[in-house]
Amino acid sequence: MIQARVRKKSFETEPAIGLARFCLVLLVVLAGAAFPAWGADDGTNVEQVRFAFSAGIFTDVNENDAKASVKAWALALGRERHVPVSAEPIILSGPTDLKQALRAATIDGAAVTTEEYLSLEPELQSTNLFMSARDGQFTEKYLLLVRNDSGLTNLAALHGRKVVMFDNVRASLAPVWLDVILSEAELGSAPEHFSQINKAQKLSQVVLPVFFRQQDACVVTRDGFETMCEMNPQVRAQLLVLVRSPAVVPSVAFLRRGFDSPLRSRMLAALEGLEKSPSGTQVLTLFQIEQFHEAPASLLDTARDLIEAHRHLKRIAVRNADLEGHQTP
């Protein structure tokens, strides 16, 4: 079991800012750890690793700032270590862009949400998956919280109420999960059930509005809830977990199938040994990521089942709507 290295130190500390920002500097740090100084000073053309990032992981960082940060890191390491990596990050707008880039082999790897990764055809999915670990776990759980004195004791009681969702890459599957549990309870989708759905990127703006009765419910990561409770024990005393999700992997990084460059094995070694390099350790600490490891695809099974259940429920809803439309005089 991976032991926790970073403790939260302030009430505003946000857990799992890791993959979004961490991935933005991940390739540069990996390259600095993996590649010796070669090629940049002798005028030869050096192969560059092309790594892409899904816009879906930029929930907690400004995209322009992210691009500037990656370029600065890449240029600095290029000067200092002659790293063969492109300084210009590739940003993919969604699953369609991801599929096209992999088919055309215009990227060598990517960091994406699990939902985006699972939307790929099997031949485009990788045999090398990497996941960030927090508190010894690759997975995340979601909690639907209400005040324990609100009288809201089940999902049905939340009809017409207001809910706020944690807008973070670690919570990327939370909207899917919420839709599934409501539909399975025959309560419709989240937009149909709640009168208002808000999003917030800071934990304090997700949990505290429920605590102070400004929102009726919230959906947050378990790790995020524990952080808030650690900083303010009254949060745990006043809030009730109405429903909790199964453990899911919210996002992954991977190398493309067919990326047969000699750099591939060095990349894999660098990924597994990230915490062994000074620069890697610095980034792990900075972004509150304990470790980053290759992990089996079987860890995605729960997320796959959840996404498939969501698609099935949407197909049923469309079919029922069509039937009602045909029956309307």
Average pLDDT, the chain: 79
Instruction: Classify residue 305: in a domain, yes or no.
Output: no
Q: DSSP for 267-297, please give it.
A: HHHHHHTGGGSHHHHHHHHHTT--EEEE--G
Residues 234 and 257 both lie in one domain: no
Task: Report whether pLDDT(273) > 80.
Answer: no
Residues 253 and 264 both lie in one domain: yes
- Tell me the CATH number at 275: 3.40.190.10
16 three-state secondary structure: coil
Beta carbons of 46 and 88 less than 8 angstroms apart: no
Residues 124 and 255 both lie in one domain: yes
Q: What is the pTM of this model?
A: 0.82
- Distances in Å between the alpha carbon of 95 and those of 56, 64, 67, 109, 110? 10, 21, 20, 14, 12
Give residue for tokens 């590649």.
Answer: 35
Quickly state the pLDDT bin for 39 (edges 50, 70, 90).
very low
Count of domains for the chain: 2
Residues 74 and 198 both lie in one domain: no
Residues 74 and 100 both lie in one domain: yes
Segments forming the whole domain that contains residue 263:
18-137+249-300
138 three-state secondary structure: coil
Backbone angles phi, psi at 90, to 5 degrees: -100, 120
Give residue for tokens 């992997």.
Answer: 249
Beta carbons of 275 and 6 less than 8 angstroms apart: no
In tens, the pLDDT along 85-137 reads 566 778 898 999 999 999 999 998 898 999 999 999 999 999 889 998 877 78
CA 144 to chain centre: 18
Instruction: Classify residue 192: in a domain, yes or no.
Output: yes
In tens, the pLDDT along 281-327 reads 655 555 556 777 899 999 999 999 999 999 998 888 777 766 666 66
Quickly state the pLDDT bin for 66 (edges 50, 70, 90).
low
Instruction: Classify residue 319: in a domain, yes or no.
Output: no
Least confident range from 48-57, 97-106, 199-208: namely 48-57
